[in-house]
Structure 1
């Protein structure tokens, strides 16, 4: 059986620190990196907290649509997963993690008490997961089935808030730089950010096809797309990037062109990753509470099993516009 000492050795911290972190000691001052290192070590070693009065153990299956490399490039899904795992550590819940590419995922999920699917899956995959275990929740995917619990972000409200803000600053030429994503069956994933931008710009008679470009959700893609936009005659005065990672690339391209942010071009990101507050200038962005989404998802599946609740829920989490230094009044 794994002990606190084993976890401490793996994480490179003291046994006391491990104990306080796993017990959510509010008086402990530690960095997020150390905390996550301890939680990761506990999960890897399958550490179980001792609860003398606890009843039957609970095992949660986590199905990840994204890879470890994707998490490094864009931490949105990393934070969703961390939210789930922190909840599981706190409540002594076992975890079985599988990826969309795993061939033996059915066997792995056959022994769990509930499932959380993170990301975008085809209808075929959705039906497969439901057939394995009906106590299931899909995070960041609006499954069109009233019998299935889903938790999504209010992307529509978030994008409208960002575009309203840029409009109030006097911007008419607002570009959208996003990314395309596909399911494991090569189906193009619907992106509410893109569709909301398109509808908003058309309703306000601002839409120009050349201002809406999609690549991938990476800084490199944002950089290349912005470089191309800057080489055209009619340059936008503001850019709404569908992720902070894209926004980083956009900012680099603008600076290399000798332009200033926000004096010449305003930039707004999405996700409110930690780096956004420390970019130069500090990035205006949308705070999408990914960690909270993970916590809510784990809680719903856990409670539904313990209380035998069968009624599914459709939850939409509100986002918040974080105004920083990268957006300013339009000079045109």
Structure 2
């Protein structure tokens, strides 16, 4: 039995001849230009159906030359790995692929020379805009910039920000309802864009609710290592201080998972001895044992919003002025890493 093969690609001219339309009309539709809006919907559908049937492939390079554009954006991330950045990138990718934009991704691992050099490198590659994920942008650039979890302010820059105050209220309110008062905190590294905002929100909620903070129960993660190691080391430092606590609120999910490992090594059970709350709700949070209670950031949606906002800025947003910041709301996801405080355990330490 002879295998059927796909039709060989046709040129724009051949597609136009088949449809008995002008190449200009066909080009406007298949390349989704603004002028295509003036073409009747029935004609647009006929063109797109014929293009699919005849295996027509728009020439992206020619499209760029014709419009004097690259249809390319740059994305800067701290690292490309499982977790926060990967979830945000997934949303960015969904939107850019749908809009037929190409993108470069660069990871800087918080190295000063890369943070300074990458924006210029991306501009040299003719990107039309930049998305910075948990990455500081220290200067005003010549293209639109959208920052996810970025708190800097520059002309032409839009930030996608989480409501950290609501996030802190959800997490600390949940622990308070379970009876926890001696809560330890693992802060983010100093280079993270969210560290200051998140810690400020936590302190404000503690003041509002009368929850006392013990400086000995606050530790900041150090180093730029990826994964759970910084959280593991931070929890070890907490345990070495011999200060009793019944719960940990960690900066992110990976640090919370590292803390759980340190607690288990110290002979403590989660959540019977110590409850643990994370932040982000990465896929791994639901897969580990016990499942991690966490504050969910809509990471994929934040990526979609960032990409859509950047494309609006590139296209001029129909003359509209884009906001300086777009705020998204968190959600508390309760799993098995938190439980009600046992009154016979006023605060456990390493054995």
TM-score (norm 2): 0.69
Return the alpha-carbon distance in structure 2 between the equivalents of residues 139 and 99 of structure 1: 15
Displacement, 1:301?
1.7
1:225 corresponds in structure 2 to 234
- CA 1:219–1:298 in structure 2 vs 1: closer, same or farther (change >3 Å)? same
8 Å contact kept, 1:176–1:197: no
1:192 corresponds in structure 2 to 197
**Residue 321 in structure 1 maps to residue 321 in structure 2:** no
Displacement, 1:271?
0.9
**Residue 88 in structure 1 maps to residue 96 in structure 2:** yes
Structure 2 unaligned regions, length at least 5: 1-5, 7-55, 109-113, 344-351
8 Å contact kept, 2:187–2:199: yes
2:220 corresponds in structure 1 to 214
2:37 corresponds in structure 1 to none
3-state SS of the aligned residue for 1:254? helix
Structure 1 unaligned regions, length at least 5: 5-47
8 Å contact kept, 2:150–2:194: no
**Residue 281 in structure 1 maps to residue 296 in structure 2:** no
Displacement, 1:218?
4.4
Return the alpha-carbon distance in structure 2 between the equivalents of residues 305 and 285 of structure 1: 35
**Residue 108 in structure 1 maps to residue 122 in structure 2:** yes
Return the alpha-carbon distance in structure 2 between the equivalents of residues 256 and 60 of structure 1: 48
Count of residues in Structure 1 that have an aligned counterpart in Structure 2: 271
Larger Rg: 2
Return the alpha-carbon distance in structure 2 between the equivalents of residues 279 and 99 of structure 1: 27
Displacement, 1:95?
1.7
2:342 corresponds in structure 1 to 331
2:39 corresponds in structure 1 to none
3-state SS of the aligned residue for 2:312? helix
8 Å contact kept, 1:60–1:96: yes
2:206 corresponds in structure 1 to 201
**Residue 79 in structure 1 maps to residue 87 in structure 2:** yes
Which aligned pairs between 1:1-332 and structure 2 lie closer than 5 A?
A: 50=58, 56=67, 59-68=71-80, 71-72=81-82, 75-100=83-108, 101=114, 103=117, 105-106=119-120, 108-110=122-124, 111-122=126-137, 125-127=138-140, 130=141, 132-133=142-143, 135-145=144-154, 148-182=157-191, 190-203=195-208, 204-216=210-222, 218-306=227-315, 307-309=317-319, 311-313=321-323, 314-332=325-343
3-state SS of the aligned residue for 1:83? helix
Return the alpha-carbon distance in structure 2 between the equivalents of residues 331 and 251 of structure 1: 19
Return the alpha-carbon distance in structure 1 between the equivalents of residues 255 and 70 of structure 2: 39
8 Å contact kept, 2:256–2:277: yes
Q: How large is the Cα RMSD of the aligned pairs?
A: 2.9
3-state SS of the aligned residue for 1:267? strand
- CA 1:163–1:189 in structure 2 vs 1: closer, same or farther (change >3 Å)? closer
3-state SS of the aligned residue for 2:151? coil
Displacement, 1:120?
2.8
